[in-house]
Structure 1
Amino acid sequence: MEKKKVAEWLAQGSIAVSKLLLDRYKQLGLDERELVLLLHMQSFFEAGVSFPTPAELAEKMTISAAECMEMVRRLLQKGMIAIEEQTDERGIRSEKYTLEPLWEQLVHHLYTDAVRSGQAEEEKAEESLYTVFEQEFGRPLSPFECETLAMWIDQDGHEPAIIKAALREAVLSGKLNFRYIDRILFEWKKNGIRTIEQAQDYGKKFRKPKPSARPAKQATGEFQPTIPFFNWLDS
């Protein structure tokens, strides 16, 4: 007897509940009763019933058929469910519910969150950029310099990482000023430099010592190697 009951229980099957739906139903403007009704709809769909009546839904819940009908109406207005026409193999038309609008809303929320997260990361990167410049210059940036930084990002389309790389290039060249950095960024953009790796490779070829160059001689008689750099303002 017990084995038979277990077999009957297993034969009932189960439905997969989206964890995303459980996490986000409040953000979608749904309450707990509406969530349970949607889950019952999904259960009916999997059982082959594509257009459950309010009475059928009410049998699964603790609310009346009239309340179920009102809840279905609200879900239709909220754009969480939709009614579609279907035609069977005999050509007979009928209606069915679909939860596709609900899944589209969830995807939209995910996309919106991703965009917001990306914007927050960009703002954080820009704030970090200003801090790095002030640390290198050893002072707060002037309004003109802040405006120049904003222009490099908004108008010229330079990534903060590329601007930091240009700043490092200026430091290595001993030319720590905004005019010099602007020239570096101009040259990089003109030559299609878009990544840190490309900028590093582009800068290295200008720092290679020429074969004919001789190291400077110190007063002690020893030779002191020099670090050549490329003057971007002369290019």
Structure 2
Amino acid sequence: MMKSNIISWLQEGNITIPAVLLSEYKNLNINEFELVLLLNIIAFLEKGNEFPTPEELSSRMTISISDCNEMLRKLIQKGFIEIIDGYTNDGIRFEKYSVRPLWERLVDRFLMKNKNSKEISRKADETDLYTCFEKEFGRPLSPFECETLAMWMDDDHHDPIIIKTALREAVISGKLNFRYIDRILFEWKKNGIRTIEQAKNHGQKFRQKQQQNRLVKEEPNPSSSIPFYNWLEQ
């Protein structure tokens, strides 16, 4: 009899909860008592008891039935659980708990953290971009130039990496000015160029074409340099 009871106890099974709930419950302003109450509700739901009573829930915890009632009320008010209507196959109405609001709050938390992480990364890229421009120009940027950089990113939605690539193109071409860089970015956007690799391929194709045209029109001169892309003439 004792062995049978132990086996039944072991067969109660496990509950499935996201590990992120354990790492984020504090940031959601859930205390340890509320967390254990939520876990017990999830356990009852997974076993088919969709509306456990305060008595059933408190029997698994170290809180009284009245405290359990109060905690359930607060969890509903705070938007972590909700009571929804359900219907049997015979059309009989009943109530049940749903922890969907809890999962939604966790998803919102994840999306917010991800957004903040991207924002931090973007600000770092922007700072690095301004530093690159000032290094190449050999001076601090003017307010107008800073505004132009901001417009390229915010209005034209150019990635900072692409702007850096356009800067390098201008340096290589010996035309280090914002008008020239703006023209490069305009042409790249028009041609759907969004990556460094696409930009390199685009410039390489142009230079190969220019070299072929030059070899046809002039005497071959192996030592002559390959012309760079003059974006202002496009």
Answer yes or no: same fold by TM over 0.5. Answer: yes
**Secondary structure, in 3 states, of the residue corresponding to 1:205?**
helix
Aligned to 1:122: 122
Measured after TM superposition, the shift of residue 52 of structure 1 is 1.0
**Secondary structure, in 3 states, of the residue corresponding to 2:52?**
coil
**Secondary structure, in 3 states, of the residue corresponding to 1:60?**
coil
**Secondary structure, in 3 states, of the residue corresponding to 1:15?**
coil
Read off the aligned partner of 1:36 and give its amino acid letter.
Answer: V
Aligned to 2:230: 231
Read off the aligned partner of 2:228 and give its amino acid letter.
Answer: F
Say if 2:21 is the partner of 1:15.
no
* Structural mapping, 1:28-39, within 5 Å: 28-39=28-39
Aligned to 1:153: 153
Aligned to 1:26: 26
* Structural mapping, 1:1-235, within 5 Å: 3-4=3-4, 6-208=6-208, 209-210=211-212, 211-212=215-216, 213-214=218-219, 224-235=223-234
Q: Distance in 1 between matches of 2:178 and 2:184?
A: 10
Deviations 1:114-133 (A, max 9, x none): 11111111111111111111
- Where does structure 1 lack aligned partners over 5 or more consecutive residues? 217-222
Q: Distance in 2 between matches of 1:57 and 1:112?
A: 32
* Mean Cα deviation higher: 21-30 or 45-54: 45-54
* Mean Cα deviation higher: 166-175 or 183-192: 183-192
Read off the aligned partner of 1:117 and give its amino acid letter.
Answer: S
Measured after TM superposition, the shift of residue 6 of structure 1 is 4.3
Q: Distance in 1 between matches of 2:180 and 2:14?
A: 67
Identical residues among aligned pairs (%): 56
1:166–1:181: 8 Å Cα contact kept in structure 2? Answer: yes
Cα RMSD after superposing both structures: 1.8
Q: Distance in 1 between matches of 2:199 and 2:22?
A: 46
Q: Distance in 1 between matches of 2:11 and 2:186?
A: 70
Cα 1:56–1:3 change in 2 (3 A) is: closer
Measured after TM superposition, the shift of residue 2 of structure 1 is 7.2
Deviations 1:6-35 (A, max 9, x none): 423321212123211001111111100000
**Secondary structure, in 3 states, of the residue corresponding to 1:48?**
coil
* Mean Cα deviation higher: 79-88 or 197-206: 197-206
Q: Distance in 2 between matches of 1:128 and 1:42?
A: 48
* Mean Cα deviation higher: 71-80 or 120-129: 120-129
1:215–1:224: 8 Å Cα contact kept in structure 2? Answer: no
**Secondary structure, in 3 states, of the residue corresponding to 1:96?**
strand
* Mean Cα deviation higher: 12-21 or 90-99: 12-21
Q: Distance in 2 between matches of 1:94 and 1:189?
A: 58
Aligned to 1:219: none
Measured after TM superposition, the shift of residue 113 of structure 1 is 1.1
- Where does structure 2 lack aligned partners over 5 or more consecutive residues? none
Read off the aligned partner of 2:201 and give its amino acid letter.
Answer: D
